[in-house]
Amino acid sequence: MEAFDYMRPTSVVDACAALREAGGTARALAGGTDILVQMREGKLRPAALVSLRDVPGLRSVRRAQDGGLTIGAATRLIDIETSPDVLRDHAALAEAASWIGSVQVRDRATIGGNLCNAAPSADTAPILIAYGSSVTISDGRDERTLPLEDFFTGPGETVLEPGELLTAISVPPAPARSHAKYYKTFRSAMDCCTVGVAVLVVFAPDSRVVEDARVVLGAIAPTPIRAPRCEEMLRGKELDTALMASVGALAAEEARPIDDVRASAEYRRVLAEVLTKRALAAADSWLQKGAGA
């Protein structure tokens, strides 16, 4: 690897200052599982890495009274998949985290790194968006909060400005009678997903009618995207096989996939359809089994 400056600040304020002072090509270093690979391949040549290792407050999961979660950006995936607070009402997030890479990768990789790296296939993004999550960004002086779905601007690109850090991810409480599920397909256990689909379904009281839904597609457009037409189609209807099939077909239409080494665009559309149907079927069978009771 080429040489670079390395700093290990002990506060968000100092980390942001270090990023700003080191200039445009300084980068935050969290687990390093994306950035060090990119640097070794010569795709990225940052003048400085600003380590988040000793910045307090970035590495924790907190569950509020109302059941909402605040997850520090530098929380490791291994800690998310095993967190009782996450597993309680947001098990689909724990599961999505547990499918990433290997134990060795998840012992280092962070949720903030997964989001800031902004791969269209980032596995924590679709389920977090399905839960309605927002992100908090700090420049060391001021904070701003925005919906996670507005965070991504393109492959590898986010709204983060130089000198800004992602500090936290807020996940709202899971609504009553709601079911969330993330499904992905991949070529091998260690490869990033060819397609990922997260679906949150909120059922009306005492019925199979869908009150609200979020359908989020990953690895199928330049950023993770919501499929608003699928969500619209679900709202106010009883979830049955015919509806699942129609929503699945619509997901294939909403996708804007590319051909690449992992899969053709056409194949990705088929996967989007299949995984969307599968996630809806999971919600249905959860309801049949007594809605988690």
Ligand X SMILES: Cc1cc2nc3c(=O)[nH]c(=O)nc-3n(C[C@H](O)[C@H](O)[C@H](O)COP(=O)(O)OP(=O)(O)OC[C@H]3O[C@@H](n4cnc5c(N)ncnc54)[C@H](O)[C@@H]3O)c2cc1C
Min dist. Cβ of residue 175 to other proteins (A): 31
Interacting residue with ligand X among 30, 39, 86, 239 (CB under 6 A): 30
Q: How far is the CB of 72 from ligand X (least distance, A)?
A: 9
Q: Which helix (H) or strand (E) holds 203?
A: strand 195-203
- Tokens 């690109």: give the residue: 157
Query: How many Å apart are CA 240 and CA 280, to the nearest integer?
Result: 9
**Exposure string for 139-157, b = 16+ CB within 10 A, e = fewer:** bbeeeeeeebbebbeeebe
d(CA 282, CA 199): 10
Nearer of residues 53 and 177 to other proteins, judged by Cβ: 53
Name residues contacting other proteins, limited to 89-118 (CB under 8 A): 101-105, 107-108
Instruction: Report how far residue 181's alpha carbon sits from residue 93's, in angstroms, rounded to the nearest whole number.
Output: 8
Applying CB under 8 A, which part among 30-38, 58-66, 168-176, 239-247 lies near other proteins?
30-38
* Contact predicate 246/227, CB 8 Å: no
For ligand X, the closer of residues 38 and 246 by Cβ is 38
CB of residue 273 to ligand X, shortest distance in Å: 22
User: Looking at beta carbons only, is 45 or 235 nearer to ligand X?
Assistant: 45
Distances (CA, A) of 6 to 14, 48, 230, 240, 249: 13, 6, 46, 56, 49
The reply on whether position 263 binds ligand X by CB under 6 A is: no
CB 238 within 8 A of CB 218: no
**Can you tell me which of 83, 114, 133, 134 binds ligand X, judged by CB under 6 A?**
114
Q: Does 35 bind ligand X (CB under 6 A)?
A: yes
Q: For ligand X, what does the binding mask look like between residues 75 and 94, x meaning CB under 6 A?
A: --x-----------------
Q: Give the span between the Cα atoms of 275 and 269, in whole angstroms.
A: 10
| Interface pick for ligand X out of 16, 22, 31, 230 (rule CB under 6 A) | 31
Length in residues, the chain? 293
Site size toward other proteins, by CB under 8 A:
26
36 binds other proteins (CB under 8 A): yes
Interacting residues with ligand X (CB under 6 A): 27-35, 37, 52, 73, 77, 100-101, 105, 108-110, 112-114, 116-117, 121-123, 160, 165-166, 190, 192
